[in-house]
Structure 1
């Protein structure tokens, strides 16, 4: 067995995960000695798999779909942002043997927008499509940047309104159905639905994107997603997918585990080059 510190990502499905490659590049860049693997773990095997991983000397885990809510419940204690989202994507073994849960998705998104694309959220009109767990994880970090307004739109309007209500103390936020955003325009539209995974789109009005506006899809793939293509066809200033967010949230997890913050731009560039994006 390797003497290197062990980390992994658990999820289902997981075979196409880029996380092992990302953390390998982080480790090489920062001269950290570790190994990071991907393991297929369905929800009904989550607890026993995590117990085994840490009992065998594992130091930290990333958890992706469908395990983030289970990871939140598993952790001995969670960060504030993890408790707000009720989801955890990073588990870290502490010196006292306890397990800390964190959610680095939202700060990863904001870092990608701000640092990599010069997109700043203060006083902007922001629309998030979808009211599931992905949206819950990014609301607080967005509201911390003081947008003019944050709107959550969902097929089931009640779910969007309930989600917005939970964050009303953080800033100006409302929830509604897709039909209620007709006639409004937004400076930034974030797709947090699963539609892109099926090369589909949520229902979108033609004039939804303000002039000079930006589209951002939390999903990513080997080619532009359906929502990224929609943004391009509607003359978005930038139409981006979530690869940069993936790298940025991984960097935050790496920092939590190792106390060293890797540079993300070289890693994003290498991954984009590998998938033919320049």
Structure 2
């Protein structure tokens, strides 16, 4: 019997940990599947997707730079994909309808839960206003923090996100500002910029770090990320990187496709030790 086919699509894609993660999930759960990485041409993402499903493929994960194109390509979007404006998970239902979902926000919140971070009534600062941040705002608001401040280099982009998610705020104080404006400690700071990948820092004040501040960098690295090291040097209580988020969003995709939720802790540990 042939295994069901799944893949991650991006450009570039050779660095992706998704094949390793889903291979570990399959071994753990006994699910018969094959998961590969596909580098799509920048000018023919749609052809890559349609070709994959035409060959009998069952589901795709989507990574940069195609998440918005995946959203556009879908026949139907889940509520969380609709809000995120991007999709990292595609699949077809029994009728052949191409459905877009977004599991990034679920992955972040689940990993924060794994680390024992309390979101209810927390004062949260989110750095950045791009697609990575847009995908996590609604799941964060669903946990009813006291306040959520979106800081970004271009203020208008942060303000646009506040306007978009105000209907989801449900009593949470939702604010937008530039990077330099926050000047008091927060309970949780989430770095949604890609600055750490270049070894750079968003220009935020050290005053956002207090003795009880938890910092989460959505980027991940074998070493402490640049932003997390900056936070530790300024007295943050705990810092975490985005490897757990990566595994948790993958587990949610796996559940959508297979109806089985894998255990994530042993997979995260194995990746840390690779």
Q: TM-score, normalised by structure 1?
A: 0.95
Is 1:103–1:137's contact at 8 Å kept on the other side of the alignment? yes
Aligned equivalents of 1:165 and 1:261: distance in 2? 34
Unaligned 5+ segments in structure 2 are: none
Provide the C-alpha distance between the structure 2 equivalents of 1:232 and 1:184, rounded to a whole number of angstroms.
Answer: 17
Whole-angstrom distance in 1 between the partners of 2:115 and 2:59 = 30
Aligned-residue CA RMSD (Å): 1.0
Q: Partners in 2 of 1:110 and 1:11 — Cα distance?
A: 24
The more displaced of 227-236 and 241-250 is 227-236
Task: Kindly indicate whether the alpha-carbon contact (under 8 Å) linking 1:188 and 1:209 is maintained by their aligned counterparts in 2.
Answer: no
Cα contact 2:185–2:213 (8 A) shared by 1: no
Contact 1:91 1:101 in 2 (8 A): yes
CA distance in structure 1 between the partners assigned to 2:41 and 2:163 by the alignment: 31
CA distance in 2: counterparts of 1:26 and 1:78, whole angstroms: 25
Partner of 1:173: 174
Contact 1:75 1:100 in 2 (8 A): yes
1:117 aligns with 2:115: yes
Following the alignment from structure 1 to structure 2, what is the Cα–Cα distance between the partners of residues 38 and 59? Answer: 14
What residue in structure 2 maps to residue 263 of structure 1? 263
Aligned to 2:201: 201
In structure 1, runs of 5+ residues without a counterpart are none
Identify the residue that residue 85 of structure 2 maps to in structure 1: 86
Q: Distance in 2 between matches of 1:34 and 1:139?
A: 32
Q: Number of aligned pairs?
A: 271
* Residue 86 of structure 1, CA deviation: 0.6
The within-5 A match list for 1:55-94 is: 55-94=54-93
Q: TM-score, normalised by structure 2?
A: 0.97
Q: Tell me if 1:223 matches 2:216.
A: no
Q: CA deviation at 1:231?
A: 1.9
The whole-number CA distance in structure 2 between the counterparts of 1:4 and 1:30 is: 14
Q: Runs of at least 4 residues of structure 1 off by over 2 A? A: none
Q: Which residue in 1 is equivalent to 2:21?
A: 22
Q: CA deviation at 1:179?
A: 2.3
Matched with 1:6 is 5
